[in-house]
Amino acid sequence: MHVASPEHVLTPRTGRVKAARRLATRRFREKERAFLAEGPQAVREALDAGRSQPALVHDVYATAAATERYPELAEVAGERWHVVDDEVVAAISETVSPQGMVAVCDYLDVALEAALARGPRLVAVCADVRDPGNAGTVIRCADAAGADAVVLLGDSVDPYNPKAVRASVGSLFHVDVVVERDTAGAVAALRRAGLRVLAADGDADVDLPAAERDGLLDGPTAWLFGNEAWGLPAETRALADTVVSVPIYGRAESLNLATAAAVCLYASARVAHDRRA
């Protein structure tokens, strides 16, 4: 833990604090290949992931109150932990009510080839997903369902957007995250790696219970999800092996992206768990 001497006290105008604040913008994140992880859960997961990647976490800025509440995190961070005034954390954070600590971390994304080389059994694939909260929640759902990777295709939102990072609640550090512009090429690579590609869409070949009964959820699977507003375009749907719908038993018109992703991923996870039992 680092407590600055009076002549080295960090303020919102200090160069390193201003640089951290600029990571709220995508252009600067991409230039530095660094992002912000805010709050005790995200910082905890970042430091834990950093045990195997020592350079992952550069600095943690925390208030005195947060330092007192989470001494174990300060101990792990060591000299990277900077005790600062509330206004410093507020200057770096984008939230209305900052959680008292924020870490500067290196990018985590891996190439699609590297993720596939690990032999994933379950992958969430998001095509042109624009909302950072949805993207982060899909990453969290994928992690909770035991998925190995999340692939963001086409014009999808940056997974290091502060809102996406917060919505992932630390799961960003648990699964392989792939950013790939070429949608068709990525889906072809998933299929070559032995994954069945199932597209989740309301206009479907089969519904989810039937897909499970027919054995479509057996074996390695990649679930393809579309944009929040317009779903999957015809050309993207055509890339899938099968299009699957989530049945609506009540009066709701549809499920939102993150909820549909959770239902589909957990269906695959349950099948895999039952096969191992």
Residue 182 per-residue DSSP state: -
The DSSP line for 65-91 is HHHHH-HHHHHHHGGGEEE--HHHHHH
Residue 139: which CATH number? 3.40.1280.10
For residue 167, the cross-strand partners are none
Residues 141 and 73 in one domain: no
Domain that holds residue 12: 6-106
- Backbone φ, ψ for residue 102 (5° rounding): -150, 135
Residues 123 and 77 in one domain: no
Residues 57 and 84 in one domain: yes
**Could you tell me if residue 137 is inside a domain?**
yes
Q: Any idea which residue has 């749907």 for tokens?
A: 237
pTM for the predicted model, two decimal places: 0.92
Count of domains for the chain: 2
Residues 80 and 168 in one domain: no
**Could you tell me if residue 155 is inside a domain?**
yes
Q: Dump pLDDT digits (tens) for 176-228.
A: 999 999 999 999 999 999 999 999 998 898 999 999 999 999 999 999 999 98
Residues 271 and 150 in one domain: yes
Average pLDDT, the chain: 92
Residues 144 and 209 in one domain: yes
Final residue belonging to a domain, choices 106, 134, 150:
106
Q: Dump pLDDT digits (tens) for 11-59.
A: 888 999 999 999 999 999 999 999 999 999 999 999 999 888 878 999 9
Is pLDDT at 231 greater than 90 in this prediction? no
Residue 37: which CATH number? 3.30.1330.30
Residues 142 and 269 in one domain: yes
Residues 102 and 146 in one domain: no
Residues 36 and 80 in one domain: yes
- The token pair at 226 is 């579309």
The DSSP line for 27-59 is HHHHHHTEEEEESHHHHHHHHHHTTTSTTSEEE
**Structure confidence at residue 8 (pLDDT):** 57
**Could you tell me if residue 1 is inside a domain?**
no
